[in-house]
Structure 1
Amino acid sequence: MKINLLNNILVGFLTVLVSASCNMIKNIEEGKVVKVLHEKKLLDSIKEYELDIQWLRARGNALITINDEAPQELDLNIRSKADSLIWLNISKFKKRMFRGEFKKDSVKMVIEYPEKLFFKGSIDSIESDLNLSIPYALIEDLLMGRSYLKHLEDKFILQVKNNEYHLLSHRKRKTKRIANNKTKKLANYFFQWWIDPFTYKCKRINIIFPSSNSEINITYKNWEKINNQYFPMGIELIISNIELTYNLLIDYKNIKFDLPQKFPFKVIDNNYQSIKFND
């Protein structure tokens, strides 16, 4: 009788222990343990800890590769006003090569070298020409290390794998069926996120746009604390479609928050030719 009672207690204890361990995430290297959060609490925590600034000024280096071409190392200068405008200047050996101004519905770009070219038009037109989906909010969140989750209203699927949160916009079976054209119900996108369970920072993002056969992969690295907020000093971006693969590695060197910026842009004259993306 006592043996049966002891066995029941032991089994009960082990059951509780196993159940508890399944609802915990461990960081073995740092000896940390946290509880697994449910969907709403996790989403609230991610939004709470995301970068909250109005102005950004950033300088750094960028390594750009297109398909199998040799990578180009460039100097990067970024200025941004939240939810409004992104200004980008690219140079090499102190020689200006590119300047761009991105708004929610329009784009202006000037190329200085090797040819003098310009583009001025809508976001829709450039997406159509390049066969890529490039939401403005995604570009802004990319440059600031955000998750883009706040822009999505649909529910997501939550998993815990390899001691990190794995979020999906659709189940893998449904994603595969839509990607293989085995269902009439289409989706505008498929999202995946990998979230650090201790900082609630986004580590990676994968986005697939079935209609344009394009895909975006984002990886955030080397988080540093700046003005009591964490910022990724390293970002990797891969944009691909059937024909092209763009790979961008950003290594930030200097970051400033909430200093109002000016966004200078050169007036285009007759020396510049219009960019023809489809040529």
Structure 2
Amino acid sequence: MQKLIRSTIILVIVVLSLASCKSRKITDKSVDYLPAKTIVKKNHDARFARTSVKASMQIKYRGKDELPNINGSLRMVKDSIIWLNFSKLGFPIAKLIITPSDVKFYEKIGKTSFEGDFKLISSWLGTDFDFEKVQNLFLGETLLNLESQKHQVTIKDGKYELLAKKRNPIFDIKYAIDPIHFKVVKEEITHAQKNQNLSILYRDFNKINESLFPKGFLITAKADDMTTIIDVNYKNVQFDVPLKFPFAIPAGYRNIELE
């Protein structure tokens, strides 16, 4: 009986300690200062290391037009191809396929299509994008390589904030890095000359088969007087499973012309 009581007490203590750790609020005072080089290395070590991703998504979009909530499917082979399928109430409405060299897209409602470079995605998001940036966006990585420049570190809102020591003549970018798992939780890019601002906020990370993957992300893009908001939540995430990428633009669709 004594052993049972003792075991129960130990179990309760463990559960309470885990709960207190989980709910502990991280403040500036609770974050130890680390050199930028150490933070960048830890972020690199925490990068997504799987070959492919398959996931379903729930998406909200507000921009030039406010779209009803839609569902999406993501299939990705790192550094090779990104395939997206969008549907509403079970009916397919659009497909998008991205490779390092081009972007192809079609949507069934207006029967329009696009085949070209990354101008389409850049126009949607309000700032310049290429394949690597799109891939990093979905994987929860910094859009730009942190190792390519030196940073200064401040501790703000319980996170490490990195800002490049040498200011880029075209844009400013700052990152908020979590002090526990060292993944990026927020990044903001500002193009002063183009009057553009892009903010990406990640809603925590799940550990799936020993790999950290974002629960979702919120994009807020501002260009002149236009604001675009894209809210993505992941569901049913799988890694390294067989994938297919069916894509064919139907006949008779009108091609979108971008300036």
- Interval of TM-score (by shorter of Structure 1 and Structure 2): 0.7 to 0.9
Cα offset, 1:251, TM superposition: 1.2
- 3-state secondary structure, aligned to 2:145: helix
- What is the aligned counterpart of 2:228 among 246, 259, 265? 246
Counterparts of 1:1-80 in structure 2, within 5 Å, are 29-30=23-24, 35-67=32-64, 69-80=65-76
Aligned to 2:255: 274
Aligned to 1:123: 118
**Equivalences, count:** 236
Long gaps (5+) in structure 1: 1-26, 175-185
**Following TM superposition, by how much is the alpha carbon of 1:29 offset from its aligned partner in structure 2, in angstroms?**
4.8
CA distances 1:234-268 after superposition (whole Å, capped 9, x unpaired)? 21112221143221111111101112322110144
Going from structure 1 to structure 2, the CA distance change for 1:98 and 1:128 (only over 3 Å counts) comes to: closer
* 1:177-196 deviation per Cα after TM superposition (whole angstroms, max 9, x unaligned): xxxxxxxxx72321111111
For 2:54, give the aligned amino acid. R
Q: Does 1:105 align with 2:101?
A: yes
Q: How high is the TM-score relative to the length of structure 1?
A: 0.76
State the TM-score, normalizing by the size of structure 2.
Answer: 0.81
Structure 2, unaligned stretches of length 5 or more? 1-20
Q: Alpha carbon RMSD of aligned pairs, Å?
A: 2.7
Report the CA distance between 1:148 and its aligned residue: 3.0
Kindly indicate whether the alpha-carbon contact (under 8 Å) linking 1:47 and 1:150 is maintained by their aligned counterparts in 2.
Answer: no
Give 1 or 2 for the bigger CA radius of gyration.
Answer: 1
Contact 1:236 1:248 in 2 (8 A): yes
- Structure 1 residues 234 and 96, CA, compared in 2 at 3 Å: closer, same or farther? same
Q: Secondary structure at the match of 1:139?
A: helix
AA partner of residue 53 (structure 2) = L
Instruction: Give, in whole Å, the separation in 2 of the partners of 1:144 and 1:127.
Output: 18
Q: Secondary structure at the match of 1:262?
A: coil
Secondary structure of 2:42 counterpart: helix
Q: Distance in 2 between the 1:221 and 1:203 partners?
A: 7
* Mapped partners of 2:233, 2:121: distance in 1: 27
Name the SS for the 2:248 alignment partner. coil
